[in-house]
Amino acid sequence: MDEVIQVTQWLSSITPRKKAKLFFFTTHADAPSPMVGSNDVDTHEETQLPLATTVALHNFKNIDEFLKKKVNTFSCYNVIENEITKTDYEYLRFYSACKYLDVVPPFLDLGKISAIQNKFEMTDEERDYRLLLDSADLVLEKVCDSLKPAGVSQMWTALRKDRNLIRGVKTIDIIGFFVDPNPTGIKECLFFFIVRFLQKADKINRVNTNRLERLTAQCDESSSCEEGKTIDFIIDSLRFYPTELYPFGFCLIMCVIEGRDGAMQEIEKTMEISRHLGMITHTEKNPTKETIELVKKELMKPKYQFYSSFTCWFMSHGDSNSMVLADGETIEREWFLTSFPDISTFQLKPKVFFMVSCRGANKFSLKGDEFEGQSATCDYYDIGSALIRNRMLDITDSVRDISYVQPMMDTLVAYSTILDHLSGRASTHGSIYVDRACVLVSENISRGRSLTEILEHLSQDLHEILQETMDEDRIVYKQACHYDSFFRKTLKLPYTRHPKEDVHSAPQ
């Protein structure tokens, strides 16, 4: 059959709503640049104009033409060995979006997709199409699905009132002030136009969504939300780190085995819990400084930009400032923690570090009658109030910027013990901290809990446990863990527990 006819038949089989979503996912806002094959031309018109004309004319002609052009480009594309091009990224994004929406063209060359994945050095696990979907776009899709046409129209009206933001933007004028978003697919096109416009204007990104939240807050709840949804529900969904679908992220496990009883148990537990979370995992036993440098270099490869989060377990002996490696050399803990968050492939994504080692030799010792009356509880204070906000300065958009980010932002470091103190372990099971952390994470998958909630529970749980030193003094003591957070959003555990075999049987 003639290819033109095939493309026409394929487009005619896709609903307007799915066409809008396919266009949205394909015109990914954070596509890497500059890339081989990129001419650095501003793509604002390319991504915004089809949406604007579709909304204004209630006609999907321009979106159809855009999708035809993509298909034709891929059909003629010859996969170049070694170097990764802009078209490689676009091809993978297009394929994953089609797979997600169940609209894969029957004539799409899957052999080229495999060849592109080879260039990215993707493993079998990483060839799951869900890895290629941008989790931030999936969250925005859910926000759109939660709004009625009237709600998106109200957001548009609120956006149009910001004259400083929209001044001189031709695509804004094409749509006009008053919009009828009720025809099928038009609501989606208008919402996706608003989102891409705010992204191109550097007003929102995958972490900074305040501007979109404020537009949503101006909607009338009774007329703007789909049944069962509320404005608060929609805004709350934007305040979580986007980690939709599988995989939840990439997990690096580094464990010094030499001289650490139970170390293999630590590896087994952390591997098991990372699999249940739906993470793709890599383990380094007995790491050295050279190992760490090689891992950092590996994480700079382009394929890691598809991951939604990064988690690292580092388990070894240590003291107040350093950690002992397998060859007896030491590395500064601060150097380790500051070198990984700066990796560009995980920028604007949550990065979690579990640092499991002693940080000194001090012990919170318990003797005789002092056991009685000891409390393992502490007070937690929830900081933040709308009442306080109302009394504070009105910070205008002119003094806000989301373009420059401190490297440590979006990073959380969880320590197995406090400074200058021991980190306890059992000779048969390894670190008690690792054991309790894995138990609590496992128990809370599918319960909608955030990581910080679990770490707070872990702090309470660990501090209730009486431990005993393994030397001849047999001192009974308690251990206190803590974490330092530079998070700007909440990181929730996935709602689905992934069995071990799920990792290897995911649909391709």
Rounded distance between C-alpha atoms, residue 452 and residue 449, angstroms: 8
Residue 373: pLDDT over 50? no
Closest-CA residue to 151 (of 235, 210, 238, 240): 235
Beta strands in 298-444 (DSSP E): 310-315, 322-324, 330-332, 351-356, 364-365, 411-415, 425-426, 430-431
Residue 477: pLDDT over 60? yes
Q: What is the mean pLDDT of residues 361-389?
A: 47
Residue 499: pLDDT over 90? no
Residue ranges and CATH numbers for the domains of the chain are 3-28+44-239 (no CATH), 249-364+404-486 (3.40.50.1460)
Q: Name, in order, each residue with C-beta under 8 angstroms of 208's C-beta and a sequence gap of 6 or more.
A: 402, 488
pLDDT recorded at residue 388: 42
Residue 163: pLDDT over 90? no
As beta bridge partners, residue 477 has 365, 467
Residue 413 three-state SS: strand
User: Between residues 469 and 358, which one has the greater pLDDT?
Assistant: 358
Q: Name, in order, each residue with C-beta under 8 angstroms of 327's C-beta and a sequence gap of 6 or more.
A: 288
Q: Mean pLDDT: which of 234-238, 376-380, 492-496 is highest?
A: 234-238
β-pairing, 467-468 vs 476-478, is antiparallel
Closest-CA residue to 156 (of 184, 183, 185, 180): 180
Task: For helices 16-26 and 86-101, give the axis angle rounded to 10 degrees.
Answer: 150
pLDDT recorded at residue 393: 59
pLDDT recorded at residue 35: 42
Q: Which of 160-164, 322-326, 394-398 has the lowest mean pLDDT?
A: 394-398
User: Between residues 391 and 210, which one has the greater pLDDT?
Assistant: 210
Rounded distance between C-alpha atoms, residue 126 and residue 461, angstroms: 35
Centroid of chain to Cα 280: 14
What distance, in Å, lies between the first and last C-alpha atoms of the chain? 27
User: Between residues 18 and 170, which one has the greater pLDDT?
Assistant: 18
As beta bridge partners, residue 431 has 425
Residue 506: pLDDT over 50? no
What single-letter amino acid sits at 278?
G
Residue 43 — very low, low, confident or very high, per pLDDT cuts 50/70/90? Answer: low
pLDDT recorded at residue 241: 93
Residue 121: pLDDT over 50? yes
Q: What is the mean pLDDT of residues 16-40?
A: 70
Burial class (CB within 10 angstroms; exposed 0-12, middle 13-18, buried 19+) of 289: middle
Q: What is the mean pLDDT of residues 105-112?
A: 91
pLDDT recorded at residue 376: 32
Kindly report the backbone phi and psi dihedral angles of residue 280, in degrees, each rounded to the nearest multiple of 5, phi listed first.
-90, 125
- 43 and 35 Cβ atoms separated by less than 8 Å: no
**What is the model's pTM?**
0.84
pLDDT recorded at residue 191: 97
Closest-CA residue to 276 (of 490, 453, 454, 446): 446
Q: What is the mean pLDDT of residues 481-498?
A: 87
Rounded distance between C-alpha atoms, residue 405 and residue 348, angstroms: 8
Q: What is the mean pLDDT of residues 189-207?
A: 94
Q: What is the mean pLDDT of residues 208-231?
A: 93
Q: What is the mean pLDDT of residues 357-375?
A: 64
Residue 498: pLDDT over 50? yes
Four-residue CA torsion sign, 170, 173, 174, 179: positive
Residue 387: pLDDT over 70? no
pLDDT recorded at residue 282: 96
Rounded distance between C-alpha atoms, residue 192 and residue 16, angstroms: 13
Residue 505: pLDDT over 50? no
User: Between residues 396 and 240, which one has the greater pLDDT?
Assistant: 240
Averaged confidence pLDDT in the chain:
86
pLDDT recorded at residue 386: 45
Q: Which of 78-87, 290-299, 353-362, 386-395 has the lowest mean pLDDT?
A: 386-395
460-472 tens-digit pLDDT? 889 888 888 877 7
What single-letter amino acid sits at 287?
P
Residue 118: pLDDT over 50? yes
Rounded distance between C-alpha atoms, residue 282 and residue 258, angstroms: 19
Closest-CA residue to 234 (of 244, 243, 224): 224
Q: What is the mean pLDDT of residues 409-438?
A: 90
pLDDT recorded at residue 412: 94
Residue 366: pLDDT over 50? yes
- 172 and 166 Cβ atoms separated by less than 8 Å: yes
- 193 and 171 Cβ atoms separated by less than 8 Å: yes
Q: Which of 153-162, 257-266, 276-285, 379-388 has the lowest mean pLDDT?
A: 379-388
Q: How many residues does the chain have?
A: 508
Rounded distance between C-alpha atoms, residue 204 and residue 335, angstroms: 31
Rounded distance between C-alpha atoms, residue 453 and residue 193, angstroms: 36
Q: What is the mean pLDDT of residues 86-101?
A: 94
Residue 507 — very low, low, confident or very high, per pLDDT cuts 50/70/90? Answer: very low
Question: Residue 228 is encoded by which pair of tokens?
Answer: 């069962």
Q: Name, in order, each residue with C-beta under 8 angstroms of 283's C-beta and a sequence gap of 6 or more.
A: 253, 254, 255, 267, 271
Residue 76: pLDDT over 50? yes
Residue 504: pLDDT over 70? no
